[in-house]
Amino acid sequence: MSTTLYDKIWNDHLVDQQDDGTALLFVDRHLVHEVTSPQAFEGLRNSNRKVRHPNLTLAVADHNVPTTDRTKGIADQESKIQVDTLEANCKEFGVQLFGMDDKRQGIVHIIGPEQGFTQPGTVIVCGDSHTATHGAFGSLAFGIGTSEVEHVLATQTLVQKKAKNFRINVNGQLPLGVTSKDVILQIIGKIGTAGGTGSVIEYAGDLIRSLSVEQRMTICNMTIEGGARAGLIAPDEKIFNYLKGKPMSPKGDNWEKALNYWNSLKTDDDASFDQELNLNAGEILPMITWGTSPQDVITIDEKVPNPQSESDEDKKNSIERALKYMGLKPDMAAKDIKIDKVFIGSCTNGRIEDLREAAKILKDKKISSHVSAMVVPGSGLVKEQAEQEGLDQIFVNSGFEWREPGCSMCLAMNADKLKPEERCASTSNRNFEGRQGRGGRTHLVSPGMAAAAAISGNLDDVRKYQN
Amino acid sequence: MQKFNKLKSIPAYLPIVNIDTDMIIPKQFLKTIKRTGLGKNLFFEMRYDDQGKEVNDFTLNQSPFNNSKILIAGKNFGCGSSREHAPWALLDFGITCVISSSYADIFYSNCFKNGILPIILEEEKIKELSEYANRKEEISVDLEEEKIIYGNNEITFQVDPFKKKCLLEGLDDIALSLKKTDKIENFEKDLINKKPWIFND
């Protein structure tokens, strides 16, 4: 029978299947961070259980870490306790940890690929919804809750039911200044935040194949914002070249064996999907979000919606609520939205190519005098690479702050946060109420668009600044 | 895990769609290393003003809804972050049953791990049940029978048979899976031969 890439990975990881379809799936790679793991380790301790495969588990502190000078440690006591608890748990249970002083430290979804821990055809889980990022490598990667983290630690398996197959084909070429962030925002705008619920999305088409590994990660990363459990892309030469020689990638004979297997990882030509969506890349424009849900997207040339023109009562109410929270007027032009802050970073857009894209726009320019802006590289290695290329100097010269790696203002668990009513152009993934700080207002954009907004002082068209 | 069987309560109704887990429990409360004590911070940003005072207009601050065990809400409940702190906060507040027309996958799964029953009903039925919240009348939920009883009416709902069994008996997932250790070991032996790079590098 013809199968999809998701079917193949699923079938290859079945440890057991009950008659009602409930399956026990083997987990090849488990990423752990400080926020969603303490209760899981405590559960193990209380039940006298061990971590079944510490060598298939990799831990890092990312959500709570300060992005300013780290020599002083963490000032916030609760954050410090959480990071210290992770260290103690990793030591007790024999799990490898990239500590706060390790230059490999960074956002969990950035370090996995960087180290070659993320590999095609694997099942990868983490107590974090953006685990979908790793699907860019042709792995089945999804976020889980803390009880499930404990389950994976104890058994190296997970109880799951098969999801539906959903394919999104993107063909054609992206116009100048349009990036994979705009592609995924466009997709979420089309399917809605619940459009992928119960499904695993495979991204296909010649546009997807033409994207770099890092651009693919941005797309898979925000799959969860479309409600799908996981998003994946069939692995190809770009992926294999990216992984070759990475510290945790297969070596020698194993590399050849792995490559042989990885080459088999694709959807059969005649496989069927429960749902399909086709998009023309040529029609995608630079996007922004105007509201408090990632589905609230418009292009930079459009206007904020007017609730009066919405007939559906639920939609009307939710537009009104979002406009009120965001402090926007109906029918206001996107380019008239003045901003206070710019945040470049996160597991969505905190990689080296993202920083290059923003730096290209900012070179020899100054940010607007009323804007404060910061760059938070996704990992210590991204930071190091950017500094070697002189990107840090471009950012600093334009007026940005250059910070230490972590999740930072994507969710504002550390000291980096918006004040009430402050408005931010952000390369992160969620514009929920209060996400970047109580009362803070978030507009999701690509790194180039964030740079353009910083220069103009309002949301603006990145194409204006393209050389 | 706490068993779930029957429940009777005046439901609280939050007519908001896409309630995300950031709304249910904001990030500043994720710094805990415990599962308990989150109830007072449930829906924190809607529930308290900038001075930390309770917002009178917010449903869960009003009697009898501050004692509701059942929460009725708009579609796509629990979207966003995977934080299990969201069901922990609901549970700690006293809510053990949520009724909505749809849920985000991770939140839905997290509920069952904590003895919370998330019920899926059509929008029309939700509107009907929400009247009971408006009138402050009790409704009953019977998991065994997969029924909601309100006034002289009942609605049936569906729930995955395995998840139902785990809720009814309060079963520990990990203990169940550990009973399959032989199968896990066999899978691993096979894996070492078929994909040696998974363990070796």
A327 lies within 8 A of chain B by CB: no
Which tokens in the block code for residue B34?
């415990």
Judged by a CB distance cut-off of 8 A, whether residue B92 touches chain A is: no
Query: Omega into B64 within 30° of 0, i.e. cis?
Result: yes
pLDDT of residue A178: 98
Q: Do A434 and B23 touch (CB under 8 A)?
A: yes
What is the model's pLDDT at position A467?
63
Q: Could you identify the residue written with the tokens 């919606």? A: A305
Summarised one tens digit per residue, pLDDT across range B5-41 is 999 999 999 999 999 999 999 999 999 999 999 999 9
- pLDDT tier for residue B1 given thresholds of 50, 70 and 90: confident
pLDDT at B30: 96
Å between A100 CA and nearest CA of chain B? 17
Q: What is the mean pLDDT of each run of 10 residues along chain A (467 residues)?
A: 97 96 97 98 96 98 94 92 97 97 96 98 98 98 98 98 98 97 98 97 98 98 97 98 97 97 98 98 98 98 97 91 98 98 98 98 98 98 98 98 96 94 98 96 98 98 90
B192 touches chain A (CB under 8 A): no
Please tell me if residue A264 touches chain B, with a CB cutoff of 8 Å.
no
Question: A257–B76: do the CB atoms touch at under 8 Å?
Answer: no
Across the range B141-166, mean pLDDT stands at 96
Residue located via tokens 């294999």: A240
Q: Do B79 and A193 touch (CB under 8 A)?
A: yes
User: With the C-alpha atoms ordered B60, B65, B70, B74, is the resulting torsion angle positive or negative?
Assistant: negative
Task: Check CB contact under 8 Å for B31 and A81.
Answer: yes
What is the C-alpha separation between A333 and A230, in angstroms, rounded? 34
**Beta-carbon separation of B16 and A321 below 8 A:** yes
Pick the closest to residue A183 from A294, A278, A275, A281 (CA basis).
A281
The pLDDT of residue B201 is: 57
Q: Chain B contacts of A116, Cβ < 8 Å?
A: 201
* One-character DSSP codes across A209-261: HHS-HHHHHHHHHGGGGGT-SEEE----HHHHHHHTT-TTS--HHHHHHHHHH
